[in-house]
Amino acid sequence: MTRKLIASVLVLPFFLTACGDGDDEESDSSAEESETLPADQAAVRDALVASFFDPSCDLVTEEYLLEKALLSDTPEEACDEHMQSWVEPQYDEDDVLVSDITITGDVATAVVGSDVTNITTVYELMLVDGTWKVSCDDFTCDHLEQPSAEVS
C-alpha cells in the first residue's frame, strides 16, 4: 500500500503542473504530430490521452485499477474509488506529449510528458477485445524502465 501512495504522490504533480500556456502554435504542432503517426500508434496515443481526460474505468484494465487503488480489493470497488478521486485536468489534450510509442503484439508502451515540465512517465497499454487500455505505468509495473528525469 505504501508503494501505491508513493506512486500517487509522484504522478500527481505531473498532472497538476502540466498546464499549457494556451499558445495556439504549440497546440497546432501537437495535432500535426498526431496526424503523422501510423494508425496503430495513433490509436495507442488516443487511448492513453483519453484515459487522462475521461474518468471511465473502461479505459484502463481492471488490474491497473486495482494497482492504483489505495483502499479497494475488487475491480468494482477500485472503479468506484477511481471515479470518486478523479479530478478534471487543468490542462488540455494538446498539452500532453506522447512519444516513443512501441507496439509488440497486444502490448504497447509510450512515454508521456509535456512542454511545461521535464518529467516523463512510461505507460503500458494492452489490446483488450480490440481496444487499447492502459494497463500500468512505470510506478506500478516493475518491468517498465523509468525514463530519465529530463525530456530530451
How far is residue 19 from each of residues 4, 110, 134, 147, measured CA to CA in Å? Answer: 24, 20, 22, 21
- pTM for the predicted model, two decimal places: 0.73
- Alpha carbons 91 and 94: distance in angstroms, whole number: 8
pLDDT digits (tens, 9 = 90+) for 61-113: 999 999 989 989 999 999 999 999 999 999 899 899 999 999 999 999 999 99
